[in-house]
Amino acid sequence: MPPPLSSVLAGARDTLPLTVGTTPFAVIFGTLAVAAGLPPIAAVAMSVIVFAGSAQFISVNLIGGGAALPVIWLTTFVINLRHALYSATLQPVARDWPLAWRALAAFWLTDESFAVVDRRFRAHGTEGALPYFVGSALFFYLNWIVWTAIGAVVGHQFSGLATLGLDFAMIATFAAMVAPQLKALAPVAVAATAGSAAWLGQALPYKLGLIGAAAVGVIVGVALDSRRRRTDSPAAVSPEDPR
Amino acid sequence: MSTTLWATILGMFVATFLIRASFLVFGQRLRFPPAVIEALGHVPVAVLSAIVIPEAIAPGGQLNLSLANPYLVGTLIAGLIAWKTGRLLVAVIVSFAVFGAMRWLL
């Protein structure tokens, strides 16, 4: 078994390429949070305490729009639900870890560290998985905090950034996150219905329209998935089918 | 920093941690039905579109589908670049430059 320190370093090293993609987001997050009116300490505190990229971005947008607290919390919950799948996937890996380490691992569970650790687990099994995860997650966590702080300072120095249209930078960031997924009928329909429903519901208070619109989009997506499954099944596409 | 902001952040922490800890800390007693897993896959697109589309087509609440709407044009450019190349940072920077130019010129 390799010594723990080398596993820690291996985890950090394998995570480095992923920080190239997320570091700009940390800077943009810090800048936008301050431009949206949050004190720099709040932007950094969010990265330290919450540590969930997309939920942090969306919450800043909601705070700026005067959303109610339960709406922000519920949106955070929904946005992060995918992490339950990661939590379930890593459960067998972490079965023998002490409770405190499992709790810390849960706190540090992100898309990126999950991807790195899951790949390592498939290749090498559970041996040395804990120090490897700690190396990956700690590196990713510190990187996220440091670059959030730098972004917050930039935003603070140029306090006129909001008037320069940084509200648009957030929209552009979200659009760029969604667009690559729009390559099949279902996600396109989800985007179109959720977007139109949100526009129709924007008069609702506390950004409640956002939650409702997202629900409408998800329902449309689920309906299209189940329809596709029916038409794809062999019974529906028999050789005698006149189509 | 205000109490409301602290409450916002602490609530977000609780919501996020409960999900991440679900299986890792509370064990295997939890099970997800496949339908829920499938629905979760649609959540990011639904939420982000629900934020982006109204701000793009109706900045300030007023519907504006013209090509003189910098929010609409910028969003389309950001989406198109990301859709074609998958490069988020390029998409954000180019669309922001176009947005700024339109704001400045129009």
User: pLDDT, tens digit, for every residue of A122-131?
Assistant: 888 888 899 9
**Tens of pLDDT, residues B21-54:** 988 998 756 666 778 778 877 887 898 899 899 9
CB hemisphere CA count around B92 (13 angstroms)? 21
- Distance, in Å, from the CA atom of A144 to the CA atom of A32, rounded to the nearest integer, reads 15
Q: Positive or negative, the Cα torsion across B76, A52, A147, B87?
A: negative
The predicted pLDDT at position A218 comes to: 92
Reported as a pLDDT band with limits 50, 70 and 90, residue A239 is very low
Q: Percent of chain A beyond pLDDT 90?
A: 46
Quote the CA–CA distance of A115 and A137 in Å, as a whole number: 11
The reply to whether ipTM tops 0.90 is no
pLDDT score at A204: 79
* Residue-level pLDDT at A18: 77
Give the orientation angle of helix A53-64 with respect to helix A69-80, to 10 degrees: 160
Using CB atoms, pick whichever of A91, A176, A213 lies closest to residue B92: A176
Cβ pair B22:A87 closer than 8 A:
yes
Contact B78 A187 (CB under 8 A): no
Q: Domain residues of chain B, as ranges?
A: 1-31, 42-105
Cα end-to-end span (Å), chain A: 60
CA dist list (Å): A227 to A83, A110, A192 = 27, 32, 18
Q: Is the dihedral of CA A185, A167, A54, A173 positive or negative?
A: positive
A143 versus A16: which is more confidently predicted?
A143
Q: From CA A120, how far away is CA A14, in angstroms rounded?
A: 9
**A residues 89-148 near B, CB within 8 Å?**
90-91, 94, 99, 102-103, 105-107, 109
Categorize the per-residue pLDDT at A52 as very low, low, confident or very high, splitting at 50, 70 and 90.
very high
Q: What is the pLDDT of residue B65?
A: 94
Q: Tell whether the model's pLDDT for residue A147 goes beyond 50.
A: yes
To the nearest whole angstrom, how far is the Cα of A170 from the nearest Cα of chain B? 9
> Which one, of A132, A118, A148, A166, lies nearest residue A45 by Cα?
A148
Helix, strand, coil percentages in chain A from 3-state DSSP, rounded to 5: 80, 0, 20
The per-residue pLDDT for range B57-84, each reduced to its tens digit, is: 998 888 999 999 999 999 999 999 999 9
Contact A53/A110 with Cβ under 8 angstroms? yes
Find the range with the poorest average confidence among A21-30, A61-70, A203-212, B90-99.
A203-212
